[in-house]
Amino acid sequence: MGRITLFTSPDTYSVFVKKELDKRGLPFQEINLAAYPSRRTDLESLTSSSAVPQVFFNTRHVGGINETLDELKKWDKCSRYGSLLERYEVQIGKMPDPKDKRLFLPTENDTRRNSFTSDLYLRERAVLELPDGTLTTVLDITEKLQDALPRGEHRYKDTLYLNAFTGKEAVDAFQKHLNLSRKGAIAFGRGLQNANVLDHVYPSISRKYDFQDSADEVFRLQCFKSPDVLNSYRIWDEPVLHDAFKLVSDMDRMLTVMELSSMDNEGKFDYLSLARSDFLPAFEEATCQLQKIEFKDMEEAEKKAFCINLYRLMMRYAFVKVGSFTSAADKKSFLRQVKFNIGGRLYSLQEWVDGILRCNRKSSAMSRAPFGRLDSRRKYPLNELDNRIHFALNVGPAFASTGSLPFSQFTPNNVDEELDIAARIFCDDDSNVSISLETGKVRLGHIFSKYRSDFAKSDKGLLESILANLTGYKALNMRKLLSSRFGKVVFDDMKLGNSAANSPVYDAHGAKTEFKGLIARVTHRFQAPKNPENERSRMITLRELNLLDTLPDERFDRITRKVQEEFEAPVVLVSLMDEDRNWMKSSQWVFPGECPKESPREISFCGHAISTCTDDIFMIPNALEDDRFADNPLVTGPLGVRFYAGFPIRVPSFDGSAPVTLGTLCIFDVKPRDLSDTQLDKLREYGSLVRKEILRQGRPGSYEKKARSSAHQGQQSVTPSRAGVSSNRIKPTLRSLFFV
C-alpha cells in the first residue's frame, strides 16, 4: 500500500514535520539518514538536494519543511473528505507501494551507524559534605545557593561588581538556611571556596582572600563570575570520562532535547523558555568538561570535524545564555565578546573561526591575525584552509537556514563528504545564493563578502567556486551567466537572527560582571548610539581614506585651535568614528594631561551625531535634560559635560552609494549653552574646511578618483582594502573613557 515517506535526521526541522503529521493523524515511514548514511545518495538523486527533511506522498516529492507545511495547510482547508485520514486512505493509502528502490524503507542489509546512550544525564559522584553530614554535588549546591544567597551590586576597590554578596550576607544566609552558628557558617563558606563554588571578586596570585564574616569583603558564586564565558558554570577539576568527540556529541543531544521541548507550533524555538529549563544547569555543568579537553595533537580531519561541531554547539548555547543579536553591530560584538574555555584557553567565537578554523587568518574587518607571535594558541589552528567550513558553520535551524544537515555531527572519517553536503545545502538556499538571468545578477550572502579571500579574488572566480556546490537548475543558470560573461555579483547585508520565536536580546553590558571607573555610573537615562543605515559603506570609505591612527597634522590642529578660540570651548575635536571606538585626529584640551587619542563608541556623543545621516549640526544644549545623555558617564563623571555641538563630516562613499558621515568637528563645554545662528554658520564653515582636508590627506587623488569611478559605474559591492597604508601610521597607546 502507499505511504508518506520522510527522509530525516535527528534535527529539529525533521522532528517538527513528524509532529505536524502526528498531530493530524497521518501515518508515515521514516528513512533516518543519520542512522543509514548510505541512503544519502538516494535522497540526492531523487531531489537534487542534501537537506532534510524531504517528504514524499507516495512517489510525489512534496519538498522540504516549508513546502510540506504549505501542503498540510491545504489539506486542512479541504472539506471534500470527512477527515484527513480519509483523504490519506483515498489518495495515498490505496495506492501501490512505491516501486522506486530509492524510496524503499531500510532493511537489515542496509549498513546502520551505531548510536550510543548519553552518559551526561547520569549524576556525578558526590564531592561535597554538608554540615549535617549528607553528601551533595557541585551542581546541586550551586543551584541551591543561587536561591539562598542574596545577589546585588557591590563596589570593591573602585569597581562595581554585579551578582555579588558580602561575606556577612553569606554568613547570615548560611545561618538561616542551615541552622549553623556563625563560626560554623564561616567554615562552610571556606569549604565552598576550596571547592571553587564561590570565590572573592578580587582574586590575586600573591594573596588569597579567604572567606570571612565581613561586610567589606565581596564574594560571588562561580556560575556568575564570567557570563561572557559560556562554559564557566563551574571549574572542572575532575577527570573527563569521554573523548572529545563523544563529549561534544552528548552535549549536542542534550541541547537538542531542550530545543525540541521549547519548540512552538510554528517550529521555532523559545529560548526564553529554554533558559528556564530544569535540564539547563546539568547541560551547563557538562560543558565545563571542555576545560580539560586538548585538541592540538588531533589529526587534521579529526580536528576539523571536532572544531566545526564545537562551534555549532557553542553558538546554540550562546543564544540561550547571552541572547540573540538584532543588529549587525550587535552580531559583531556577540562574536567577539562571547567566549568559551577549551583546554584552559579562552577563545571568542570569532577567534575560533578566524584563528582555529581559518588557520589564523585575519578577516576583512580585522587588521591582524587573531593569534600573535607570542600567543600560545598559535599551536592549535588547522594546517590548511578549507572554505567549505563557512557553509558548515551556517546551516541548520539555529542559523536561520531553511535546510538541515542529514547528519547530527561531522565525523573524522567522512568530514570531506559531509562538508560537500553542507556546501550544497547552503548554496541551494536562495537567501545565500540567488541567480537572476533577467538582470544578470547573482546575489550572495554576507559570508561571501566577509570571507571573500577564502574563495577567490575575482568575481568570476568566486562564481566558479560557488558553481561547484550547485545542483539542478541553479547550476544550469550559473553556467549560462558565466558563459555569457554577464554575471554581476551583489552582496547582501549580514544575516541576523535565528529560528527563534522568543529569545533574550544580546546586550554587551549584560555579558559583563563588573564595571570600572566612569562606566559603572551608567544607569537608565542613557542610550548608546545606533549605527547609521549605511554603516558598511561608511566603514569601507573610512578604511580607504587611511586616516585612522596617523600622526597629528598641523592643518587639522590649526582649525581646532581657531574653533576653540572663537567659541571659547574647553574641548574641540576632529573625530573619526571607527567600528567600536572614536579616534581623535586633532584635539584642543584645557584639562590637565593630554587628550585621549580614542574612546569607546558606546558612550559616544559623536556616535549620535553620525547616526542622523544628515548635514546639519547635532547639538545638545544641556545633557542633564536629555534622556539620551543624562546618565552618560561623560556627563555624570568628573568632567561633567553639559554642552555638545558636532558638525558631521560627510564625504562621497567609496562604493558609489549615498554620502557617508566619517566623524565630526565638535565642541564640548562643562556648562549649558546655546549657539546663535551666526555661530552655527561659523561651525559649518570650519567643518567644511575639515572635510576638504580629510579628502586631501586621505590617499591624495586616489580616493576621489575611485569614488567617482564607483559612482559612475553604480557598483554595489566593494571589498574593503587595507593596502597602501601611509608611512606616518602609528598605533595608539591610550584608551580612555573620558571623551567620545
- The pTM score is 0.67
Instruction: Tell me the three cell numbers of residue 408.
Output: 547530527
Q: What is the pLDDT of residues 717-737, one digit of tens each?
A: 333 333 333 333 333 332 333
C-alpha to C-alpha distance for 94 and 77, rounded to whole angstroms: 22
d(CA 740, CA 734): 14
Query: Can you read off the three cell numbers belonging to residue 324?
Result: 540573540
Average pLDDT over residues 642-655: 92
Q: Quick one: 723 exposed, middle or buried, by C-beta within 10 A (0-12, 13-18, 19+)?
A: exposed
* Residue 3 reports pLDDT greater than 70: yes
- Tell me the pLDDT band of 709, cut-offs 50, 70 and 90: low
pLDDT digits (tens, 9 = 90+) for 410-468: 999 999 999 999 999 999 999 899 999 888 899 998 899 889 999 998 889 999 999 99
Q: What is the pLDDT of residue 518?
A: 41
What is the pLDDT averaged over residues 96-121? 67
Amino acid letter, residue 635:
V
Secondary structure (DSSP) of 406-459? SSSS--GGGHHHHHHHHHHHHHHSTTTEEEETTTTEEEE-HHHHHTGGGT-SSH
Element (H, E) at 5: strand 4-8
Describe the chain by its helix, strand, coil percentages, rounded to 5: 40, 15, 45
Q: How much is the pLDDT for 29?
A: 92
Question: Which residues are bridge partners to 60 per DSSP?
Answer: 57
Amino acid at 472: G
Considering all CA atoms of the chain, what is the largest pairwise distance in Å, rounded to the nearest integer? Answer: 92
Task: Output Rg (C-alpha) for the chain, integer angstroms.
Answer: 30
- C-alpha 633/C-alpha 160 separation (Å) is 14
pLDDT band at 27 (very low <50, low <70, confident <90, very high): very high
CA distance 182 to 171: 6
Distance CA 475, CA 534 (A): 33
> What residue spans in the chain does CATH classification 3.30.450.40 cover?
525-713
pLDDT of residue 731: 33
pLDDT at 525: 65
Q: How confident is the model at residue 708 (pLDDT cuts 50, 70, 90)?
A: low
State the average pLDDT for the chain.
Answer: 84
The ranges of the chain annotated as CATH 1.10.10.10 are: 128-224
Predicted pLDDT at 509: 61
Predicted pLDDT of residue 586: 94
Q: Dihedral sign, CA of 708, 709, 713, 717?
A: negative
The backbone torsions φ and ψ at residue 116, rounded to the nearest 5 degrees and listed phi first, read: -140, 160
Grid cell 552558628 is found at 181
The CATH class of 128-224 is mainly alpha
Cβ 494 vs Cβ 326: under 8 Å: no
More confident residue, 257 or 60: 60
**pLDDT, tens digit, 9 for 90 and up, residues 581-608:** 999 999 999 887 778 888 888 888 999 9
What is the pLDDT, as a whole number, of residue 65?
A: 87
Least-confidence region, from 84-88, 172-176, 333-337, 724-728: 724-728
pLDDT at 283 over 80: yes
Where are the strands (E) in 10-71, listed by range? Answer: 29-32, 54-57, 60-63
Residue 83 to residue 73: CA distance in whole angstroms = 14
DSSP states of 481-547: HHHHT--EEEEPPPP---SEEE-PBP-GGGG-SEEEGGGGG--SS--PPPPPTTHHHHHHHHHHHT-
The pLDDT value recorded for residue 691 is 93
Min mean pLDDT across 78-92, 394-408, 440-454, 691-705 is at 691-705
Q: Which CATH class is domain 525-713?
A: alpha beta
CATH class of 4-103: alpha beta
Directed axis angle between helix 472-484 and helix 459-467, to 10°?
A: 150
Q: Write out pLDDT tens, residues 200-253.
A: 988 665 567 899 999 999 999 999 988 889 999 999 988 887 889 989 998 998
